[in-house]
Amino acid sequence: MKFSRISGLRGELAVPGDKSISHRSIMFGAIARGTTEVTGFLQSADCLSTISCFRKMGVEIENQGSRVLVKGVGMHGLKKPEKILDCGNSGTTTRLLSGILCAQDFDSAVTGDASIQKRPMNRILIPLTQMGARIRSASGNGCAPLIIQGSPLHGIHYQSPVASAQVKSAILLAGLYAEGETRVTEPFLSRNHSELMLSHFGADVRTEGTTAIIRPAKELYACPVEVPGDISSAAFFLAAGLLVPDSEILVRNVGMNPTRSGVLTVLQNMGADITVINQNSRSSEPAANLLVRTSRLHGTCIEGELIPTLIDEIPILALTACFAEGETIIRDAAELKVKESNRLKVMAEGLSSMGARVQETEDGMIIQGGAPLHGAVIDSCMDHRIAMTFAVAGLCADGDTEILGAECVNISYPQFYKDLKNLA
Ligand code: S3P
């Protein structure tokens, strides 16, 4: 896929549904009593992996496009899958599903693609084992495939070394089935979609500071889920609207959960002209329309508690910083090394190959803005957010930018290139 410099991105779009919320709607719907109606569901490879795993455990899921009906089987109604469950490229599926499987009265196994089989799973194996789970890495390297023998669990208070919603959610889901209360304390608050949605489904879950607390449930009860647009997908259009000259884009129905909207705070701190219009609360999650116009930006520092609120947006923020006046420092972001690719390395190398002044550090990047970018051949490393970031980069660079493995946007945003083209 090739991109070259343009000007004047204009028009409006609604980005597809939030990936994190879509996954959870299927998982929680599956173990609830009654039928959960999900609207705005993200039809992407990752979320389809979640649907496929639960179908293999006897859950009837009617996928009608943007509406999905999950016929819940109750907390103890899942059936033993005949084969190993394939989570594809999805870390959220692998980790959250493992939390549920540990507590079932059957044995199971989960795996995923080559990228998933390299991602760290000790971060869930350790706390789940402390809860009494019998879960192990098949090859003993702390990665999937994971072998799970269902067993009784008990609550713990886990001090998580990482701010990770996947870790927190795996523990909370196991905690639903455990004896006694389960607590997870994080260094900084990560996205709280699980807490919000579980509470809607009737679970006894609450938050105190950066600690999430859950009590065991007898049952969860189906309730409708309206999935707002994914701010992580919207971020590519916010950046494109800011960086491409003479642009004005309205992005409709973007999820505005404060544990996710750090990208907006940072862009506005950098001088971005982004107006929040019609903020409203759908279901348990707020949403708004965002109007973005081409802006002059200045450098900033992105660190600390902000990091989990924009963890998936750091690649596109790094690109944006290349066009800002002065220096941008990103730190406390070592988690990026264990995402779908090593995003610190891949971003620093890719941006440098386009002429940007970027230095990779141990836990982030230092970017000197203002160097003009030129086209390059960029390997997406089959990481969807890398492909989309460099597509936007190509629109702001001299010459051609070619993206290898561009089709990996299917993971979170299958119609990304079409939506981008419609604005051009
Ligand atoms: C997600 C949590 C984040 C994020 C991922 C989705 C979730 O991962 O990067 O894209 O749905 O809980 P971590 O929890 O590992 O930080």
What was the pLDDT predicted at 81? 98
What was the pLDDT predicted at 282? 62
> Taking Cα atoms as reference points, which of 371, 325, 336 lies closest to residue 352?
371
Substitution site in 92, 192, 257 for ligand 1 pocket (most atoms within 8 Å of beta carbon): 92
DSSP 131-198: TT-EEEETTSSS-SSEEEE----B--EEE-SS--HHHHHHHHHHHHHSBS-EEEE-SS----HHHHHH
Q: Tell me the CA distances in angstroms from 130 to 98, 123, 126, 175, one per residue in order.
A: 14, 12, 6, 12
Structure tokens at 365: 């990047």
Who lines ligand 1 at CB under 6 A? 20, 92, 164-166, 169, 190-191, 311-312, 335
What is the tens place of the pLDDT at every residue in 66-107?
799 999 999 999 999 999 999 999 999 999 999 999 999 999
> Taking Cα atoms as reference points, which of 77, 20, 21 lies closest to residue 54?
77
199 is in an annotated binding site: no
Q: How many A from CA of 91 to the centre of ligand 1?
A: 7
- Which residue puts its alpha carbon closest to atom 10 of ligand 1? 312
139 is in an annotated binding site: no
Q: What angle do CA 148, 149, 152 make, to 5 degrees?
A: 120
What was the pLDDT predicted at 117? 98
- Looking up tokens 């705005």 gives 40
- 278 exposure class (CB count in 10 Å sphere: 0-12, 13-18, 19+): exposed
Substitution site in 21, 160, 311, 335 for ligand 1 pocket (most atoms within 8 Å of beta carbon): 311
Whole-number Å distance between alpha carbons of 232 and 312:
6
Out of 312, 379, 383, 419, the active site residue is 312
Structure tokens at 287: 């949403």
385 is in an annotated binding site: yes
Q: How many A from CA of 412 to the centre of ligand 1?
A: 13
What was the pLDDT predicted at 135? 98
What is the tens place of the pLDDT at every residue in 253-304?
999 999 999 999 999 999 999 999 988 876 679 999 999 999 999 999 999 9
Q: How many A from CA of 222 to the centre of ligand 1?
A: 24
Q: How many A from CA of 356 to the centre of ligand 1?
A: 28
Q: Which atom of ligand 1 is nearest to the CA of 165?
A: 14
Catalytic site residue 312?
yes
Q: State mean pLDDT over 154-166.
A: 98
166 is in an annotated binding site: yes
